[in-house]
Structure 1
Amino acid sequence: MTTDFGELASDSHGTDDDRPPLVLLHGLSYDRRQWGPALRELAVVDPGRRTVCFDLPGHGESPPRATYPLDEIAAIVHDAVDEAGLDAPVVVGHSYGGALATSYAAAYPVRGVINVDQPLWAGAFAALLRRSEPALRSPGYLRVWESLLSGMGIEELPPAARELVRTATTPRQDLLLGYWAELMTGPAGQLDDRRARELATIYARGVPYHHVAGNDLAPAYRDWLESLLPGVTVTVLPGGGHFPHLAGPAEFAKILAA
């Protein structure tokens, strides 16, 4: 069922029961269509599970905003979660959505977090965005986006998934500049400290955290993650680069079901 909750357009699946509901948050420039392959598999392994896929502000059928600070987007998602009647969901996020799911879980009640291929260290990526800011603000901004896509392993995906990644996306300049504003203007160390505090809060609350990646985590990053989240689950679904949920939707659906 397609409906609006709060400010966000969504697809709502399944019915409320004793299983924790799932909230699915897509990555920057994409929309809720990204979850289609995983949802079809979830219907097989965990039929009827209450699942809501949101379009984030400015994406898909959700209206844009003037600015997109992460904590404000988390609050908008929470309002939508409340209106949808979802009690302490498992929050699942891909790419930017993984950072959003982490920030959400530190601020609001959840029963689990699944971060799909979103490292939480800002440093190197923030530096790249700062160097690229003049180009991002120019008419040729898409060259920066396409350069990033070229390193995401899209060519490894099955043909249908590859087509979904290349077509179900709207990389508008206002979205890239708006959602990346904090990375381009805030001190990278301060952003990393914020993520560390969020993870420490999640751990203190006893919330299970599952990081699903397309490739092995860098050893230093994995050490940092495990130092803040002892017992964190890390699963690698190879063959899809930055899109492991599309490379292995059946395996990913089993993670959602668990």
Structure 2
Amino acid sequence: MDTEQDTDHPVDIAGLAADDHGAGTDAAPLLLVHGLTFDRSMWRGIVAELERIDPARRTVAIDLPGHGRSPDQPAYDLDTLTAQLHHVVEAAGLTAPVVVGHSFGGRLATSYAAHHPARGVVNIDQPLDAAPFATFVRALAERLRGPGFRAVWQMFYDSFHVELLPADAQDLVRSTSRARQQVVLGYWSQLLTQPTAELTAMIEQETAALRASGAPYLYITGDEPKPGYARWFGEHLPAATVEVWAHSGHFPHLVDPQRFARLLAGLGR
């Protein structure tokens, strides 16, 4: 799971490594944000399919700080990352993109659209209610910060159910997952240290901003949401669309790249 990869030559956009495709059309550009420990190569099969059916569509896929070819940095808090994402949008000349994020990238896409103009959000398998996950992560804090990190991360990785993916997608996930302790701890620093009430208030403010903006919000998950979370999500984002792509684990977008590309092609028009 700690395989070096990504030997290509990305472009630099606002200090982050990126793949930038398409001349642009009247449709909203797509900003693609991978999840924690992965990198922008996660999107390449999908972008290839999108180029086939919507060849001029502008897509920008970034490596988040500390991932792929983007450099490490001192802080990975959500405010810092949201601001960096906006710098990318401005530097790339993207106007009100549809922000597509997987896992932690879905959380970051949500934050971005709550603070900046966006034509929509696609959140792939990232629950927004932070309190339960924060409680779980804090119970593991000592092991995460110590020599037990690798074993704990393996537990998280196993929960992704990579075995549900087609063979080529399994290879992609396994070859691009690079779990570095300091980077993971940096991205989870708020979960580990910020009071739960503050985490809850943050997401309530963001979902209120999204309701006010009217930006379309699509949540794609590999499993039927549990009733409690379904109620929470429906109360906070009542206009959102929820799609369950069954038997896909944590990577519904990789089960059928053609289907996912067709979905993206229809957004932001």
TM-score, normalisation: structure 2? 0.92
Structure 1 position 187, deviation (Å) = 2.0
Matched, 1:60 2:60: no
Structure 1 position 79, deviation (Å) = 0.4
Q: 2:40 aligns with which of 26, 32, 35?
A: 32
Matched, 1:176 2:151: no
Q: Which residue does the alignment assign to 1:201?
A: 209
Structure 1 position 167, deviation (Å) = 1.2
Larger deviation, residues 38-47 vs 242-251: 38-47
Decide whether the 8 Å contact of 1:237 with 1:248 is kept in 2. Answer: no
Aligned-residue CA RMSD (Å): 1.3
Decide whether the 8 Å contact of 2:134 with 2:191 is kept in 1. Answer: yes
Larger deviation, residues 214-223 vs 81-90: 214-223
Structure-2 change in CA distance of 1:209 and 1:133 (3 Å): same
Q: Which residue does the alignment assign to 2:78?
A: 70
Q: 2:240 aligns with which of 220, 232, 237?
A: 232
* Secondary structure in 2 matching 1:11: strand
Q: What is the correspondence of 1:179-194 to structure 2 with a 5 Å cutoff?
A: 179-194=187-202
Structure 1 position 143, deviation (Å) = 0.8
TM-score, normalisation: structure 1? 0.96
Decide whether the 8 Å contact of 1:91 with 1:110 is kept in 2. Answer: yes
Decide whether the 8 Å contact of 2:25 with 2:56 is kept in 1. Answer: no
* Secondary structure in 2 matching 1:174: helix
Larger deviation, residues 95-104 vs 218-227: 218-227
Q: What is the correspondence of 1:1-258 to structure 2 with a 5 Å cutoff?
A: 2-258=10-266
Distance across 2 between alignment mates of 1:188 and 1:8: 31
Q: Which runs of 4+ in 1 moved over 6 A?
A: none
Distance across 2 between alignment mates of 1:230 and 1:137: 38
Decide whether the 8 Å contact of 1:238 with 1:247 is kept in 2. Answer: no
Decide whether the 8 Å contact of 2:99 with 2:122 is kept in 1. Answer: yes
Distance across 2 between alignment mates of 1:225 and 1:61: 34
Gaps of 5+ in 2: 1-8
Percent identity of equivalent pairs: 47
Amino acid at match of 1:195: I
Distance across 2 between alignment mates of 1:202 and 1:231: 10
